[in-house]
Amino acid sequence: MKTFDQQAAGRVIYELTAVIQKNRDYLSEIDGATGDGDHGVNMNKGFTKCREQLEGGGEGRSLSEAMDLLGDILLSEIGGSMGPLYGTFFMEMAENIGGKAQIGAEDFLGMLKAGLAGIRALVPTEIGDKTLLDVLVPSVAAFETALAVGKDFDAALDTLKVAAAESREATKDMVAKVGRASRLGERSRGFYDAGATSCALILASLADSVQALLR
C-alpha cells in the first residue's frame, strides 16, 4: 500500500504554481475566445502570490498547509468566480487531510471529493454546462473507479490524468450555459472552456507531483 508523507509535501503546491505561471497566456487566450480573456492573468496573480510565500519551494510545509495558503490567497485576492471556486476547492482539501500524516489512495480520493463537495455547495451549476465541473466530476469519478477495480495509487493517478485531459477535450463540444460565454449560446461550441482547462492543468499537476513522491 503506497502512501506519501503529507507533512513534507508542500512542494506539490509549489510545483502547481509553476504550471499556472507557465500557462498564463494560454489560459487567457482560451478565455478570450468566449469570455473576458482574463482567466490566465487572474489565476497567475493568485498562484504567483502563493509561490512567493512558499519559501524554499514549499519545503517545511505540509501539503495541507500549502493548500490552505493557496486557498486563502485565492479567496482574499482573486474575486470573480474563480477566486471563490478554486479558493474553496483548496481550502476544503486542506481541511480534509489536515490531521493525516500519510496519504494513501483512499485519502487522496477523500481529499478530492471534499474539494468537489465544497464547490458543489457553492454553485448550482450542472454537469454539461461547460465549466470546470465538467473536468473535475468525471476525473474524480475515474480515479475512484480505478481504485475500485484494483489499480494502485500510482496507476490510478495515471487514470486521473487521462480523464482530466479527455474531459477537458470534451468541453469543446459543449454549449456554455453559465458565465460570460453563455452569451454566445450555440457559438460557444468549438471552443475549450477556460475554467475546465485550468482545472485539467491543476489535476494533472497534482497527480504528477504526487507520483514523484510515490516513486
Partner 1 sequence: MQRIINNPDLVVEEMLKGYVKNHRDIVAPTDNPRVVKYVGAPVPGKVGVVTGGGSGHKPAFIGYVGRNMCDAAAIGEIFSSPTAKAFCDAFAAADAGKGVACLYGNYAGDNMNVKLAVKMAQKQGIEVKTVVANDDAASAPKDQAEKRRGGAGEIFVWKVGGAKAAQGGSLDEVVAVAQKAVDNTRSVGIGLTPCTIPAVGKPNFQIEDGKMELGIGHHGEPGVSVTDLRTADEIAELMLDIILPDLPFESGNDVAVLVSGLGATPVMECYVVFNRAFDILEEKGIHVYRSYVGNYFTSLEMMGVTITVMRLDAELKALLDEEADSMGLKQFRPRQ
Residues that bind partner 1 (CB under 8 A): 32, 35-38, 41-42, 75-81, 83-85, 87-88, 122-123, 178-180, 182-183, 185
Give the span between the Cα atoms of 164 and 137, in whole angstroms.
9
CB of 34 to partner 1, least distance (A): 9
Closest CA to 44 of 67, 16, 76, 66: 16
Inter-residue contact 22 to 48 (CB < 8 Å): no
Closest contact distance (angstroms) between CB of 155 and partner 1 is 35
Q: Would you state the cell numbers that stand for residue 190, as one nine-digit string?
A: 468549438
* Smallest separation (angstroms) from partner 1 to the CB of 148: 32
Q: Based on CB atoms, which residue is closest to partner 1, 123 or 155? A: 123
Measure the CA–CA gap between 103 and 7, rounded to whole angstroms: 10
- CB nearer to partner 1: pick between 36 and 154: 36
Q: Is 175 or 178 the residue whose CB approaches partner 1 more closely?
A: 178
Cβ 129 to partner 1, closest distance in Å? 11
Contact assessment for residue 34 and residue 83, using Cβ atoms and an 8 Å cutoff: no
Nearer CB in complex with partner 1: 182/211: 182
Largest CA distance in the chain: 49
Per-residue DSSP letter, 5 = E
Is the distance from CB of 82 to CB of 27 less than 8 angstroms? no
- Cβ-based nearer residue to partner 1, 141 or 178: 178
CA 41 to CA 26: how far, in whole Å? 10
How near is the Cβ of 171 to partner 1 at its closest, in Å? 17
| Partners of residue 4 on adjacent β-strands | 103
Give the list of residues 6+ apart from residue 124 with CB closer than 8 angstroms, or none.
none
Nearer to partner 1, 172 or 177 (CB): 177
Least distance (Å) from partner 1 to the CB of residue 153?
32
